[in-house]
C-alpha cells in the first residue's frame, strides 16, 4: 500500500488523458511491476515473487484513486486480483467481500523512456533528500522562465552542487562528499524532486542517478523514476553572489525567526517588508503598514562586526531561508543596503557541505 501511495504521487488528479489516471500493473516471471505517469515523469516499483503470488503473466491499467481509496480501508490482509483479459474488468476479492472495477488496456499506457546515459553519479539517499530540501523552496513559478522553476544539479569530479533561484532569492548547496565521473549540468523539475524528497527521507540506500540530453533516471531500492529534464540555460548564479561582504551579523536562529514572524504581521501586505537596523550588539527589527497605521518593533542582542546599517528584506523570504538553516545561530554577510544579503549557518561541517543563501533587499522609504 505504501508503495502504491508513493507512485500515486506522480498521477495528476485532473488529467485529460484517462489512462494517466491509472496505475499500470505488469506481471512477468512471477514479479509484479506497478507504474504511474504524468507523461513528464514516470515512476515504477517492483514486488518480487515472495511478495505476490501470480498465476500467469499479463498487464492491466487500473484506476488509481478508486484502488487507493479501496486499499486504505483494509488492514494488512491478502487480496486476490482477477483480471478478465477480454473486458479489462478487475475483481478484487478479500475474505469478506468482492469488489468489481473497470480497467483499461495496458498498451495505452505510456512507456517509461529508456535512458541513453551520457553521465551518472551515485548519491546516498539521505544526502539527496537533504539537498532537495535545502534548495527546492527557492525555485520560481514563472512559466515564462521555466529554467528557474527547477533545481540545477551541477556535477563535478571534486564536488556536486544544487542551485535554485526565483530572481529574488537564491540557494547554492554544495556537497564535497559527492563526486561524479565527469563535469555536467542538468536542470531537474520540481514535481519529481518533491516525490523523491518524500521517498528518500524514509530509508537509507544508494541512489544511482544517470541522465541523457533530455531525461534523468533515479534507481534505488526497488524503485525507478524517470523524468524529462528542463531544457535551457540556467542563470549565471556565480555572478550575482556578492564576493566582498565586510559586515557580519550573527544572531540566535530561534529568537530571530520568532521576532520576524511577529513583526511581519504588521508589514505592508504588498511588499512584506521588514527593516533591520544594526548597530553594535543591537539588532532592531521593524515593520509598518502606513495604509492601516500598523507598526511593530522588536529588539534582539546580536554579534555584529561592521558599519552601522539599515536594510530592508521581504519577511517571507527571510523566514523561508532561516527555517532552512541548521544549527543554533544564523550568519548574515552584508555589504550595502542596496546589495544582496548572504545568509549562512554560523557553524557548518565545511569538509562535507557548504550552503549559501542570497536574498535581494527591498529599498527602504526613509
What pLDDT, in 10s, does the model give residues 319-336?
999 999 999 999 999 999
Superfamily of domain 119-238: DNA Polymerase III, subunit A, domain 2 (3.10.150.10)
d(CA 330, CA 46): 44
**Residue 126: what are its φ and ψ, rounded to 5°?**
-70, -35
Q: What pLDDT band is residue 207 in, cutting at 50, 70 and 90? A: very high
Q: Return the C-alpha cell found at 278.
A: 544594526
Name the CATH superfamily housing domain 2-108: DNA Polymerase III, subunit A, domain 2 (3.10.150.10)
Of 76 and 322, which is predicted with more confidence? 322
Mean pLDDT within 49-74:
88
- Residues contacting 344, CB < 8 A, separation 6+: 325, 330, 331, 333, 355, 356, 357
C-alpha span between 164 and 132 (Å, rounded): 10
* CA atoms of 227 and 282, how far apart (whole Å): 49
* Between 29 and 260, the higher pLDDT residue: 260
pLDDT bucket at 30, cuts 50 / 70 / 90: confident
- The CATH class that applies to domain 241-359 reads alpha beta
Confidence of residue 276 (pLDDT cuts 50, 70, 90): very high
Average pLDDT for residues 175-186, to the nearest whole number? 92
Q: How far apart are CA 288 and CA 296, in angstroms?
A: 6
178: enclosing H helix or E strand: none
Of 133, 134, 186, residue with least CA distance to 156: 186
Q: Is 202 helix (H, G, I), strand (E, B) or coil?
A: coil
Largest Cα separation within the chain, whole Å, is 80
Stretch (H or E) spanning 184: strand 184-188
230 three-state secondary structure: coil
Phi, psi of 147 (to 5 degrees): -60, -30
Q: Report the b/e string of 242-257 with b at 16+ CB within 10 A.
A: eeebebebebbbeebb
What would the mean pLDDT of 228-234 be, rounded to a whole number?
96
CA atoms of 162 and 308, how far apart (whole Å): 34
**Closest to 106 in 3D by CA, of 59, 71, 48, 64:** 59
Write down the mean pLDDT value for the chain. 93
**Which runs of consecutive H residues, i.e. helices, occur in the chain?**
2-8, 64-72, 125-135, 190-200, 237-240, 253-264, 315-323
Q: How far apart are CA 339 and CA 60, in angstroms?
A: 58
Residue 352 or residue 12, greater confidence: 352
pLDDT at position 366 is 60
Domain with CATH 3.10.150.10 in the chain: 2-108, 119-238, 241-359
Question: Residue 175 phi/psi, 5° resolution?
Answer: -115, 120
Percent of the chain with pLDDT over 90: 79
Average pLDDT over residues 163-180: 95
Report d(CA 49, CA 39) in Å as an integer: 29
Of 221 and 52, the structure prediction assigns the larger pLDDT to 221
Amino acid at each position: 500500500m505504501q508503495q502504491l501511495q508513493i507512485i500515486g504521487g506522480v498521477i495528476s488528479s485532473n488529467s485529460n488523458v484517462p489512462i494517466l489516471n491509472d496505475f499500470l500493473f505488469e506481471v512477468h516471471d512471477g514479479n509484479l511491476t506497478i507504474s504511474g505517469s504524468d507523461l513528464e515523469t514516470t515512476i515504477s516499483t517492483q514486488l518480487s515473487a515472495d511478495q505476490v503470488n501470480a498465476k500467469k503473466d499479463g498487464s492491466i491499467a487500473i484506476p488509481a484513486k478508486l484502488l487507493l481509496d479501496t486499499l486504505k480501508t483494509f488492514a494488512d490482509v491478502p487480496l486476490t486480483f482477477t483480471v478478465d483479459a477480454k473486458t479489462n474488468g478487475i475483481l478484487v476479492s478479500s475474505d469478506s467481500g468482492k469488489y468489481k472495477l473497470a480497467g483499461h488496456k495496458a498498451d495505452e499506457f505510456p512507456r517509461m523512456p529508456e535512458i541513453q546515459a551520457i553521465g551518472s553519479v551515485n548519491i546516498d539517499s539521505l544526502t539527496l533528500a537533504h539537498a532537495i530540501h535545502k534548495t527546492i523552496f527557492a525555485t520560481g513559478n514563472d512559466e515564462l522562465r521555466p529554467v528557474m522553476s527547477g533545481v540545477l544539479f551541477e556535477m563535478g569530479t571534486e564536488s556536486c552542487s544544487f542551485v535554485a533561484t526565483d530572481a529574488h532569492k537564491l540557494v547554492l548547496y554544495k556537497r564535497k562528499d559527492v563526486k561524479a565521473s565527469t563535469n555536467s549540468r542538468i536542470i531537474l523539475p520540481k514535481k519529481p524532486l518533491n516525490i523523491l524528497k518524500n521517498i528518500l527521507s524514509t530509508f537509507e540506500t544508494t541512489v544511482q542517478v544517470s541522465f541523457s540530453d533530455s531525461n534523468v533516471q533515479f534507481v534505488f531500492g526497488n524503485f525507478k523514476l524517470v523524468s524529462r529534464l528542463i531544457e535551457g540555460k540556467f542563470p549565471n548564479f556565480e555572478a550575482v553572489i556578492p564576493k566582498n561582504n565586510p559586515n557580519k551579523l550573527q544572531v540566535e536562529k530561534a529568537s530571530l525567526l520568532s521576532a520576524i514572524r511577529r513583526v511581519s504581521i504588521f508589514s505592508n501586505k504588498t511588499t512584506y517588508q521588514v527593516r533591520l537596523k544594526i548597530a553594535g550588539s543591537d539588532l532592531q527589527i521593524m515593520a509598518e503598514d502606513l495604509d492601516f497605521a500598523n507598526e511593530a518593533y522588536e529588539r534582539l542582542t546580536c554579534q555584529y562586526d561592521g558599519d552601522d546599517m539599515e536594510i530592508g528584506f521581504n519577511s517571507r523570504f527571510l523566514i523561508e531561508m532561516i527555517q532552512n538553516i541548521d544549527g543554533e545561530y544564523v550568519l548574515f554577510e552584508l555589504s550595502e543596503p542596496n546589495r544582496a544579503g548572504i545568509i549562512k549557518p554560523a557553524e557548518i561541517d565545511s569538509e562535507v557541505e557548504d550552503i549559501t543563501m542570497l536574498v535581494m533587499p527591498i529599498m527602504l522609504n526613509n
